[in-house]
Protein backbone atom coordinates (compact mmCIF):
# COMPACT_ATOMS: atom_id res chain seq x y z
CA UNK A 1 0.00 0.00 0.00
CA UNK A 2 2.82 2.42 0.87
CA UNK A 3 4.48 1.77 -2.51
CA UNK A 4 1.23 2.59 -4.31
CA UNK A 5 0.95 5.94 -2.55
CA UNK A 6 4.59 6.73 -3.34
CA UNK A 7 3.90 6.01 -7.00
CA UNK A 8 0.73 8.15 -6.97
CA UNK A 9 2.61 11.10 -5.48
CA UNK A 10 5.39 10.74 -8.06
CA UNK A 11 2.85 10.58 -10.90
CA UNK A 12 1.09 13.68 -9.64
CA UNK A 13 4.38 15.58 -9.77
CA UNK A 14 5.17 14.47 -13.34
CA UNK A 15 1.70 14.38 -14.92
CA UNK A 16 -0.09 17.76 -14.76
CA UNK A 17 -3.25 16.17 -16.17
CA UNK A 18 -3.77 14.70 -12.67
CA UNK A 19 -3.96 18.18 -11.16
CA UNK A 20 -5.39 20.42 -13.86
CA UNK A 21 -7.33 18.05 -16.07
CA UNK A 22 -11.08 18.31 -16.62
CA UNK A 23 -12.85 15.39 -14.92
CA UNK A 24 -15.53 13.36 -16.72
CA UNK A 25 -17.26 10.41 -15.05
CA UNK A 26 -17.79 7.82 -17.79
CA UNK A 27 -19.98 5.39 -15.80
CA UNK A 28 -21.99 7.58 -13.42
CA UNK A 29 -24.68 4.94 -12.86
CA UNK A 30 -22.41 1.96 -12.18
CA UNK A 31 -22.23 0.87 -8.54
CA UNK A 32 -19.33 -1.53 -9.15
CA UNK A 33 -17.06 0.05 -11.77
CA UNK A 34 -15.67 3.57 -11.51
CA UNK A 35 -14.36 4.87 -14.81
CA UNK A 36 -13.31 8.43 -15.50
CA UNK A 37 -11.30 10.53 -17.90
CA UNK A 38 -9.19 13.61 -17.26
CA UNK A 39 -8.01 15.81 -20.13
CA UNK A 40 -5.56 18.70 -20.16
CA UNK A 41 -3.31 20.23 -22.82
CA UNK A 42 -3.51 17.31 -25.23
CA UNK A 43 -3.08 14.59 -22.61
CA UNK A 44 -5.81 12.18 -21.57
CA UNK A 45 -5.82 10.01 -18.47
CA UNK A 46 -8.27 7.10 -18.36
CA UNK A 47 -8.88 5.34 -15.04
CA UNK A 48 -10.99 2.26 -14.43
CA UNK A 49 -11.48 0.62 -11.05
CA UNK A 50 -13.51 -2.37 -9.95
CA UNK A 51 -14.97 -1.38 -6.57
CA UNK A 52 -16.29 -4.84 -5.77
CA UNK A 53 -14.99 -8.21 -4.65
CA UNK A 54 -16.46 -9.81 -7.81
CA UNK A 55 -15.12 -9.77 -11.38
CA UNK A 56 -16.77 -7.09 -13.53
CA UNK A 57 -17.02 -6.69 -17.30
CA UNK A 58 -15.79 -3.36 -18.64
CA UNK A 59 -16.14 -1.93 -22.15
CA UNK A 60 -14.17 1.28 -22.65
CA UNK A 61 -15.47 4.32 -24.46
CA UNK A 62 -14.30 4.88 -28.03
CA UNK A 63 -10.49 4.80 -27.74
CA UNK A 64 -7.98 6.09 -30.30
CA UNK A 65 -4.26 6.74 -30.23
CA UNK A 66 -1.30 5.43 -28.29
CA UNK A 67 -1.70 4.64 -24.61
CA UNK A 68 0.64 3.71 -21.80
CA UNK A 69 -0.35 1.90 -18.60
CA UNK A 70 0.82 4.13 -15.75
CA UNK A 71 -0.42 2.32 -12.69
CA UNK A 72 -2.13 -0.95 -11.88
CA UNK A 73 -2.47 -3.23 -8.91
CA UNK A 74 -2.16 -6.64 -10.57
CA UNK A 75 1.00 -8.13 -12.05
CA UNK A 76 0.05 -7.79 -15.70
CA UNK A 77 -2.07 -5.25 -17.52
CA UNK A 78 -3.17 -4.49 -21.07
CA UNK A 79 -1.05 -1.75 -22.60
CA UNK A 80 -4.11 -0.35 -24.41
CA UNK A 81 -7.59 0.12 -22.92
CA UNK A 82 -9.82 -2.64 -24.30
CA UNK A 83 -12.88 -4.62 -23.27
CA UNK A 84 -11.87 -6.80 -20.34
CA UNK A 85 -12.92 -8.58 -17.20
CA UNK A 86 -11.73 -6.56 -14.23
CA UNK A 87 -10.58 -8.67 -11.33
CA UNK A 88 -11.79 -7.93 -7.79
CA UNK A 89 -10.64 -4.45 -6.71
CA UNK A 90 -8.50 -4.08 -9.84
CA UNK A 91 -7.58 -0.54 -10.90
CA UNK A 92 -5.73 0.61 -14.01
CA UNK A 93 -4.56 4.06 -15.09
CA UNK A 94 -3.71 4.71 -18.75
CA UNK A 95 -2.18 7.86 -20.23
CA UNK A 96 -2.64 8.86 -23.85
CA UNK A 97 0.22 10.78 -25.39
Query: If you ran DSSP here, which 8-state letter would residue 88 be given?
Result: T
CATH superfamily of domain region 21-96: Golgi alpha-mannosidase II (2.60.40.1180)
Rg (CA), the chain: 13
Q: Are 96 and 81 in contact (CB under 8 A)?
A: no
pLDDT (tens, 9 = 90+) of the chain, 97 residues, equals: 566 667 777 777 778 788 888 999 999 999 999 999 999 998 999 999 999 999 999 998 888 888 999 889 888 888 889 899 999 999 999 999 7
pTM for this model (two decimals)? 0.87
Q: In what order do the strands lie in the sheet with 33-40?
A: 22-25, 33-40, 43-50, 91-96, 67-72
Segment (H or E) for 44: strand 43-50
Amino acid sequence: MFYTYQKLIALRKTQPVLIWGDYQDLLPDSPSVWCYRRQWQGQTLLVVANLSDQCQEWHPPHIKGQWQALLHNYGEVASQPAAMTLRPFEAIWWLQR
